[in-house]
């Protein structure tokens, strides 16, 4: 595998021509996605700046142009009329000034009247590689390009560590104020969120305090990508705690969890109603963000990076990696989120094909199981062996997913077997397979399981227990894979 020097990883892109050869070499990879957003070249990670503005969905992703490496991060911009068909719009933000000389890191957006305003972290490093994170803003101009403000909105606090980033902006109608939630770390290395407030979007920002989350004072060493949303009158706090292992999650030290509770802006306290939940039980799901300004108080629309920090994936050999999840709808039911694929994804179904054990490279499966235990093996060989194995244990109400049977194994040390616990008996699955990802929605969204999958040529089959009914639709391509820089 290529060893990257710091100079190579942090090179500034001077011209699109520098990466055209990489684009040409990866575009015909068998693992290029057909209906998921993926990097135009190099590496993509977190979703950023996701919002609905004047009828268009705007989304960016953390992008390193050069290869499958977390180096200098840009925002790459894509747009969609319907959350299903995505067009490449070119670079969103480039690291080209003092405040972001080592990367334009993650952030959010908000649509206000005619303006779409983006908030991001300028990752500054000095010659000794000492980091100073700035909270910066940009606005969408008439040509659809992001224009940065020349100065940051604010710098870091020195009573917290260098880890202060990923601004999530929200409007609070009651207080008539905007708030920014920043993922942070205390000086004694605890994960937390810092809150800033202002009456105006582009100026007047003041530090309001550290968010109090009773019971979560010691929960991981850094909370990346905080996101807060009110759904049907309940507050939902989603974040990605790092540097900690959590029960049932193998050796992974990166997680994406949520709390349902009440956010009190007077006391800056988020009071959880119950325990944390995993947003997704799969191997690869992180840095999830909801779309801003969707104008619906009863749901959120969420998208995530299908990947984890510190991990690498088999297309590293081809000098690219990364993909985003399908956008999913979130609703609150009882003390939990219900997550369902956006309805428009059904428009990608081609005619249903016979369920004869053949697995198209991009497809949706609908699986209906009778009462009791069952097995479903995806990406098996023609004789039904190997693959991604799902086992449902009805007594325990747990579905175990095991990826050790696949030809291409990766991130073995993080763990290759994980459980998806369920409250109701497992009777229904919707499975979205694209060329290098698999997303499983259980029981109409009670739980989800997302993983990267890199089948080899002989693995395009599936096998299920008797009585399990499978329907299969190949999926149309809906992302343009054009070289727009
Ligand atoms: C999460 C993260 C963010 C940061 C970005 C840098 O994956 O580490 O905290 O802003 O990625 O690419």
Q: Is 45 in the pocket of ligand 1 (CB under 6 A)?
A: yes
Residue with the smallest CA separation from ligand 1 atom 9 is 224
Residues 446-484 have pLDDT tens digits of 999 999 999 999 999 999 999 999 999 999 999 999 999
Residues 323-350 have pLDDT tens digits of 999 999 999 999 999 999 999 999 999 9
Closest atom, ligand 1, to C-alpha of 73: 12
Whether residue 30 is predicted with pLDDT greater than 90 in this model: the reply is yes
Q: Is 421 in the pocket of ligand 1 (CB under 6 A)?
A: no
The secondary element (H helix, E strand) that includes residue 440 is strand 437-442
310 and 397 share a domain? no
Residue 222 belongs to some domain of the structure: yes
Distance, in Å, from the CA atom of 237 to the CA atom of 239, rounded to the nearest integer, reads 7
Distance, in Å, from the CA atom of 341 to the CA atom of 457, rounded to the nearest integer, reads 28
331 and 371 share a domain? no
Q: Is 255 in the pocket of ligand 1 (CB under 6 A)?
A: no
This prediction's pTM = 0.98
Residue 384 belongs to some domain of the structure: yes
- Ligand 1 centre from 224 Cα, in Å? 7
Q: Is 168 in the pocket of ligand 1 (CB under 6 A)?
A: no
- Ligand 1 centre from 119 Cα, in Å? 14
pLDDT score recorded for residue 412: 96
197 and 263 share a domain? yes
- Ligand 1 centre from 227 Cα, in Å? 14
Residues 394-452 have pLDDT tens digits of 999 999 999 999 999 999 999 999 999 999 999 999 999 999 999 999 999 999 999 99
The domain spanning residue 210 has which CATH number?
Answer: 2.115.10.20
Q: How far from 93 is each of 27, 63, 106, 129, 146, CA to CA, in Å? A: 23, 10, 11, 22, 7
Residues 53-75 have pLDDT tens digits of 999 999 999 999 999 999 999 99
pLDDT score recorded for residue 1: 74
Residue 479 belongs to some domain of the structure: no
Point out the domain boundary residue: 297, 324, 341: 341
Q: Is 165 in the pocket of ligand 1 (CB under 6 A)?
A: yes
Read out DSSP for 158-227? TTEEEEEEEEEEEEETTTTEEEEEEEEEETTS-EEEEEEEESSSSS--EEEEEPB-TT-SSS-SEEEEEE
Closest atom, ligand 1, to C-alpha of 166: 10
Which SS3 state, helix, strand or coil, does residue 315 take?
helix
Task: Please check whether residue 130 is in contact with residue 160, taking contact to mean a CB–CB distance below 8 angstroms.
Answer: no
Q: Is 166 in the pocket of ligand 1 (CB under 6 A)?
A: yes
- Ligand 1 centre from 105 Cα, in Å? 6
Residue 46 falls in the annotated catalytic set = yes
- Ligand 1 centre from 46 Cα, in Å? 7
382 and 275 share a domain? no
Q: Is 73 in the pocket of ligand 1 (CB under 6 A)?
A: yes
Find all residues with CB under 8 Å of 102, minimum gap 6, and list them. 10, 72, 95, 123, 124, 125, 131
Identify the CA nearest to 398 among candidates 415, 373, 376: 373
- Ligand 1 centre from 24 Cα, in Å? 27
Q: How far from 288 is each of 45, 162, 398, CA to CA, in Å? A: 10, 22, 24
How many structural domains does the chain have? 2
Beta bridge partners of 90: 77
332 and 390 share a domain? no
15 and 77 share a domain? yes
Closest atom, ligand 1, to C-alpha of 286: 7
Point out the domain boundary residue: 320, 341, 362: 341
pLDDT confidence tier of residue 29, bands split at 50, 70 and 90: very high
pLDDT confidence tier of residue 315, bands split at 50, 70 and 90: very high
Give burial (CB, 10 Å; 0-12/13-18/19+) of 106.
buried
Residue 483 belongs to some domain of the structure: no
Q: Is 450 in the pocket of ligand 1 (CB under 6 A)?
A: no
Classify residue 479 by its DSSP letter.
Answer: B
277 and 407 share a domain? no
Residue 192 belongs to some domain of the structure: yes
Point out the domain boundary residue: 295, 316, 341: 341
Q: Which of 42, 44, 45 to mutate to test the pocket of ligand 1 (most atoms within 8 A of CB)?
A: 45
Give the residue numbers spanning the domain of 166. Answer: 6-341
Q: Is 48 in the pocket of ligand 1 (CB under 6 A)?
A: no
Residue 208 belongs to some domain of the structure: yes
pLDDT score recorded for residue 320: 98
Count H helices and E strands in the chain, helices first.
2, 31
Provide φ and ψ at 457, rounded to 5°: -50, -35
The domain spanning residue 436 has which CATH number?
Answer: 2.60.120.560
Neighbours of 457 (CB within 10 A): 7
pLDDT score recorded for residue 2: 83
Closest atom, ligand 1, to C-alpha of 222: 9
Q: How far from 263 is each of 198, 220, 227, 287, 315, CA to CA, in Å? A: 18, 21, 12, 21, 41
Selected catalytic residue, list 46, 235, 280, 434: 46
Q: Is 311 in the pocket of ligand 1 (CB under 6 A)?
A: no
336 and 360 share a domain? no
pLDDT confidence tier of residue 85, bands split at 50, 70 and 90: very high
* Rounded-to-10 torsion of CA 237, 239, 243, 248: 70
Task: Please check whether residue 300 is in contact with residue 288, taking contact to mean a CB–CB distance below 8 angstroms.
Answer: no
263 and 285 share a domain? yes
Which SS3 state, helix, strand or coil, does residue 480 take?
coil
Residue 481 belongs to some domain of the structure: no
Distance, in Å, from the CA atom of 423 to the CA atom of 368, rounded to the nearest integer, reads 17
389 and 289 share a domain? no
Beta bridge partners of 269: 212, 264
- Ligand 1 centre from 286 Cα, in Å? 10
pLDDT score recorded for residue 483: 98
Q: Is 123 in the pocket of ligand 1 (CB under 6 A)?
A: no
Which SS3 state, helix, strand or coil, does residue 62 take?
strand
Residue 460 belongs to some domain of the structure: yes
Which SS3 state, helix, strand or coil, does residue 98 take?
helix
Residues 96-134 have pLDDT tens digits of 999 999 999 999 999 999 999 999 999 999 999 999 999
- Ligand 1 centre from 75 Cα, in Å? 12
- Ligand 1 centre from 57 Cα, in Å? 22
Residues 163-186 have pLDDT tens digits of 999 999 999 999 999 999 999 999
Q: Which of 106, 192, 239, 304 to mutate to test the pocket of ligand 1 (most atoms within 8 A of CB)?
A: 106
364 and 334 share a domain? no
Give the length of the chain: 485
pLDDT score recorded for residue 367: 98
Closest atom, ligand 1, to C-alpha of 105: 10
Q: Is 287 in the pocket of ligand 1 (CB under 6 A)?
A: yes
194 and 97 share a domain? yes
């Amino acid at each position: 595998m290529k060893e990257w020097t710091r100079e190579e990883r942090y090179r500034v892109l001077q011209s699109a021509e520098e990466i055209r050869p990489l684009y040409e070499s990866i575009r015909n990879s068998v693992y290029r996605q057909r209906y998921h957003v993926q990097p135009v070249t190099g590496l993509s990670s977190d979703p950023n700046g996701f919002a609905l503005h004047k009828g268009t969905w705007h989304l960016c992703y953390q992008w390193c142009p050069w290869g499958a490496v977390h180096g200098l991060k840009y925002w790459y911009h894509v747009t969609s009329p319907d959350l299903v068909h995505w067009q490449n719009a070119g670079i969103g933000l480039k690291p080209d000034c003092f405040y972001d000389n080592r990367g334009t890191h993650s952030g959010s957006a908000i649509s206000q009247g005619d303006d779409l305003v983006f908030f991001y972290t300028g990752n500054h490093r000095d010659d000794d590689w000492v980091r100073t994170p700035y909270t910066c803003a940009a606005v969408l101009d008439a040509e659809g390009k992001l224009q940065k403000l020349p100065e940051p909105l604010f710098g870091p606090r020195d009573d917290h560590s260098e880890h202060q980033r990923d601004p999530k902006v929200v409007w609070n109608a009651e207080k008539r104020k905007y708030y920014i939630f920043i993922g942070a770390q205390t000086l004694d290395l605890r994960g937390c969120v810092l809150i800033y407030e202002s009456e105006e979007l582009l100026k007047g920002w003041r530090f309001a305090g550290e968010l109090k989350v009773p019971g979560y004072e010691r929960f991981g060493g850094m909370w990346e990508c905080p996101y807060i949303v009110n759904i049907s009158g309940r507050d939902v706090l989603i974040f990605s705690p790092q540097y900690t292992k959590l029960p049932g999650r193998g050796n992974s030290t990166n997680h994406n969890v949520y709390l349902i509770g009440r956010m009190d802006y007077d006391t800056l306290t988020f009071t959880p109603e119950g325990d944390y939940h995993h947003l997704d039980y799969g191997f690869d799901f992180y840095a999830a963000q909801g779309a801003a300004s969707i104008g619906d108080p009863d749901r959120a629309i969420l998208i995530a990076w299908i990947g984890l920090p510190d991990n690498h994936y088999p297309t590293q050999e081809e000098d690219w990696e990364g993909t985003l999840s399908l956008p999913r709808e979130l609703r609150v039911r009882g003390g939990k989120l219900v997550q369902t694929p956006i309805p428009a994804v059904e428009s990608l179904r081609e005619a249903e094909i016979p369920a004869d054990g053949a697995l198209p490279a991009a497809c949706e499966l609908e699986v209906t199981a009778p009462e009791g235990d069952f097995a479903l093996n995806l990406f098996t060989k023609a004789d039904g062996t190997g693959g991604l194995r799902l086992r449902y244990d009805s007594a325990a109400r747990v579905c175990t997913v095991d990826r050790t049977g696949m030809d291409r194994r990766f991130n073995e040390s993080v763990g290759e077997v994980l459980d998806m616990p369920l409250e109701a008996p497992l009777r229904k699955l919707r499975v979205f397979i694209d060329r290098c990802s698999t997303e499983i929605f259980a029981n109409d969204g009670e739980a989800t399981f997302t993983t990267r999958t890199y089948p080899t040529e002989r693995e395009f089959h599936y096998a299920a227990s008797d009585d399990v009914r499978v329907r299969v639709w190949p999926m149309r391509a809906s992302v343009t894979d054009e070289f727009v820089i």
